Amino acid sequence: MAETRSALWQDYTWPELQALAEAGAAVIVPVGAIEQHGPHLPVSVDSTCVYEVARHAAQAVTEFPVLVAPPVWWGVSPHHMGFAGTITLSTDTFIAVVSDICRSIGQHGFRRILILNGHGGNASVVNVIAQRLSEQKPPLWVAAATYFTMIAQDLQAIGESDFGGMSHACEMETSLMLALRPDLVHLDRAEDDMRGPWTSFFGWDMRVGGTVYYAYDMKRDTNQGVIGAPSLATTEKGQRILAAATTHVASFLREYQAMPV
């Protein structure tokens, strides 16, 4: 496959994809969200970011081919439906669609599939999808990860905001969008919304996980759909975040490829 240039599954013909399966290509299935991200960011943020991380990681791996499947645009976002533009799938529908995609890919002989998630509301669900796929007979083994969890330590180094500043439409996401799609960022409309979590057990910042899960309602609990400090966003931070995510995802893909399956 020396002549392969694109990382995009959808650009290939069936004989080319058959050859890629035989060549041991890994496949990333990016899953994001169409979800309000405050008055200054488009609803595509989660999908755009995870898709670009996936594409960068796929290009960064040169030892074996890596394909990026068409992105799952919509995630589980019921808690954002109070703001216009959010398109949510129910948890059950999201499980079904991602599972069917993985099953199809696996059926064509691809043995290393990574569901790469870019939306907090999907984080536990993608793990459950991987588990459910292992329940079927014969089992399908896939990996699942949320890219911003993989770079929590990098975010600690990059972030300048206090705890709570990297949560949603925040210092982190606004920076990353500045690096990826500056034409869609309206920094002049950005407004910080910092508030600590209700209990010390809840996760509230991408830099630190929580130990108790609790759903919340963005319409009730925020002013304009923002949690964090978009005012601290910069293009340079976005580039560092993209680089960190690319590095970690690519590293995992290499270890995954070396693993027996």
Q: Which long-range contacts (CB under 8 A, 24 or more apart) does 6-14 make?
A: 7/55, 7/58, 7/59, 7/66, 7/67, 7/68, 8/55, 8/67, 8/68, 8/70, 9/67, 9/68, 9/69, 9/70, 10/69, 10/70
Nearer to its own copies, 123 or 236 (CB): 123
CA dihedral 219, 225, 227, 231 (to 10 degrees): -150
User: Using CA atoms, how far apart are residues 153 and 159, in angstroms rounded to an integer?
Assistant: 10
> Which residue matches tokens 């599954």?
9
In the complex with its own copies, the residue whose CB is nearer, 198 or 236, is: 198
Minimum CB separation from its own copies for residue 127, in Å? 4
Closest separation in Å from C-beta 239 to its own copies: 22
Six-digit token pair at 4? 């392969």
Cβ 98 to its own copies, closest distance in Å? 10
Instruction: Tell me if the bond preceding 182 is cis, omega within 30° of 0.
Output: no
Measured from the CB atom, the residue of 54 and 160 that comes closer to its own copies is 54
If the CB atoms of residues 107 and 236 are measured against its own copies, the closer one turns out to be: 107
Residue (109 or 236) nearer to its own copies, CB: 109
Minimum distance of its own copies from residue 73's CB (angstroms):
4
Taking the complex as a whole, the smallest distance from the CB of residue 235 to its own copies amounts, in Å, to 19
